[in-house]
Structure 1
Amino acid sequence: MIELISTVVIVAMVFYLIVKKYQPALVLLLAGLILFFIALLLGNPILEPKEATGLGFLDVFKQLELTFVDQLSVVGITIMTLFGYASYMNHLGATDVVVGILTKPLSRIRAKYLLIPIVFLVGNLLCLFIPSSSSLAVILMAVLYPVLRKVGLSPLTIGGVIATVATVVPTPLGADNVIASKTLGISLFDYVFLNHALISIPTILVMAVAHYFWQRYMDKRQAGKAFLVQEEIHNQQETKKILPPKYYGILPLLPLIFIVIAGLFFRDIKVEVVILTFLSFFIVLVIETLRKRNLKQVFDGSFEFFKGMGQGFTQVVIIVIGGVFFAKGLQALGVIEMLMHSVQNVHSAGTILTLFFSGITFLFGLVSGGGTPLFYATIPLIPDIAASAHVDAIQLALPMQLVAHLTRSMSPVAGVIMIVAGVMQVSPIEIVKRTSIPILAGIVTVIVLSLVIL
Structure 2
Amino acid sequence: MGINAWIALVVVGVAVWALIKRYETRLVLIASGLFLCIISWDLMGGLDAFAKSMTNSSLVMAICSSMGFAYVAKYTGADRSLVHYLASPIRGLGIFLIPVCTTITFFVNIAIPSAAGCAAAVGSTLIPVMLRAGIKPAAAAAAVLGGTIGSYLSPGTSHNPYVANMAKMDVMDFIAYHAPYSFMIGAISVVGILIVCFVLGDHKGSTEARVDESKLQKNEPDFKPNPLNALVPIIPITLLLVGNIWVPAMKMGVAQAMVLGAVIGLVVGRANPQNFTKEFFNGTGKGYADVMGIIIAAGVFAAGLRSAGLIDAFVSMLKDSNDIARWGGSIGPWIMGVITGSGDAATLAFNETVTPHAADFGMTIEGLGGLAFLTGAAGRTMSPIAGVTILVSGIAMVSPIEVVKRTALPMTVAVIACALLMV
* The two structures share one fold, judged by TM-score above 0.5: yes
Matched, 1:398 2:370: yes
Kindly report the root-mean-square deviation, in angstroms, between the aligned alpha carbons of the 2 structures: 2.5
The counterpart of 1:316, out of the listed 291, 294, 304, is 291
Kept after mapping to 2: 8 A contact 1:130/1:136: yes
Residues 386-410 of structure 1: CA distance to partner in whole angstroms, max 9, x if unpaired? 1222321223221211111111121
Given the superposition, is the C-alpha separation of residues 260 and 117 from structure 1 closer, same or farther in structure 2, using an over 3 Å criterion?
Answer: same
Q: Distance in 2 between matches of 1:265 and 1:443?
A: 33
Aligned to 1:330: 305
Aligned to 1:43: none
Residues 117-139 of structure 1: CA distance to partner in whole angstroms, max 9, x if unpaired? 11111110110222222233233
Q: Distance in 2 between matches of 1:343 and 1:236?
A: 46
> 1:368: how far off?
1.0
> 1:422: how far off?
2.4
Aligned to 1:370: 342
The counterpart of 1:124, out of the listed 106, 111, 116, is 106
Given the superposition, is the C-alpha separation of residues 329 and 278 from structure 1 closer, same or farther in structure 2, using an over 3 Å criterion?
Answer: same
Counterpart secondary structure, 1:153: coil
Given the superposition, is the C-alpha separation of residues 342 and 189 from structure 1 closer, same or farther in structure 2, using an over 3 Å criterion?
Answer: same
Letter in 1 for 2:52: T
Matched, 1:37 2:38: yes
Given the superposition, is the C-alpha separation of residues 281 and 307 from structure 1 closer, same or farther in structure 2, using an over 3 Å criterion?
Answer: same
> 1:18: how far off?
1.1
Aligned to 2:88: 104
Letter in 1 for 2:127: Y
Aligned to 1:154: 136
Matched, 1:139 2:121: yes
Residues 122-165 of structure 1: CA distance to partner in whole angstroms, max 9, x if unpaired? 11011022222223323333211222223222222212212221
Moved more, 423-432 or 406-415: 423-432
Kept after mapping to 2: 8 A contact 1:96/1:243: no
Q: Distance in 2 between matches of 1:215 and 1:325?
A: 43
Q: Distance in 1 between matches of 2:179 and 2:49?
A: 35
Letter in 2 for 1:325: V
> 1:427: how far off?
2.2
Given the superposition, is the C-alpha separation of residues 4 and 450 from structure 1 closer, same or farther in structure 2, using an over 3 Å criterion?
Answer: same
Aligned to 2:237: 256
Counterpart secondary structure, 1:166: coil
> 1:255: how far off?
1.7
> 1:269: how far off?
8.3
Aligned to 2:223: 242
Q: Distance in 1 between matches of 2:125 and 2:324?
A: 44
Aligned to 1:272: 253
Aligned to 2:397: 425
The counterpart of 2:190, out of the listed 208, 229, 233, is 208
Q: Distance in 2 between matches of 1:270 and 1:387?
A: 30
Matched, 1:182 2:183: no
Aligned to 2:29: 28
Aligned to 1:95: 79
Q: Distance in 1 between matches of 2:408 and 2:121?
A: 22
Letter in 2 for 1:447: A
Aligned to 1:231: 210
Given the superposition, is the C-alpha separation of residues 241 and 210 from structure 1 closer, same or farther in structure 2, using an over 3 Å criterion?
Answer: farther
> TM-score with structure 1 length normalisation?
0.85
Any stretches of 5+ residues in structure 2 without a counterpart? none
Kept after mapping to 1: 8 A contact 2:266/2:276: no
The counterpart of 2:318, out of the listed 324, 343, 348, is 343
> 1:211: how far off?
1.8
> 1:277: how far off?
2.2
Q: Distance in 2 between matches of 1:139 and 1:268?
A: 34
For the pair shown, the structure with the greater C-alpha radius of gyration is: 1
Kept after mapping to 1: 8 A contact 2:331/2:415: no
Aligned to 1:63: 48
Counterpart secondary structure, 2:55: helix
Residues 419-441 of structure 1: CA distance to partner in whole angstroms, max 9, x if unpaired? 22223333221112222222223
Aligned to 2:416: 444
Given the superposition, is the C-alpha separation of residues 143 and 336 from structure 1 closer, same or farther in structure 2, using an over 3 Å criterion?
Answer: same
Kept after mapping to 2: 8 A contact 1:350/1:396: no
When the two structures are aligned, how many residues end up with a matched partner? Answer: 419
Aligned to 1:355: 327
Residues 154-197 of structure 1: CA distance to partner in whole angstroms, max 9, x if unpaired? 2222122122210144222322212121122211111102x211
Given the superposition, is the C-alpha separation of residues 410 and 228 from structure 1 closer, same or farther in structure 2, using an over 3 Å criterion?
Answer: farther
Kept after mapping to 2: 8 A contact 1:173/1:256: no
Residues 331-351 of structure 1: CA distance to partner in whole angstroms, max 9, x if unpaired? 23333223333333x2xx333
Matched, 1:74 2:75: no
Q: Distance in 2 between matches of 1:61 and 1:350?
A: 30
Moved more, 238-247 or 140-149: 238-247
Q: Distance in 1 between matches of 2:215 and 2:171?
A: 43
Given the superposition, is the C-alpha separation of residues 427 and 280 from structure 1 closer, same or farther in structure 2, using an over 3 Å criterion?
Answer: closer
Aligned to 2:95: 113
Counterpart secondary structure, 2:164: helix
Taking only the aligned residue pairs, the percentage that are identical comes to 23
Letter in 2 for 1:161: A
Q: Distance in 2 between matches of 1:235 and 1:304?
A: 24
Q: Distance in 2 between matches of 1:436 and 1:13?
A: 26
> 1:312: how far off?
0.7
Given the superposition, is the C-alpha separation of residues 68 and 398 from structure 1 closer, same or farther in structure 2, using an over 3 Å criterion?
Answer: closer
Any stretches of 5+ residues in structure 1 without a counterpart? 41-45, 47-56
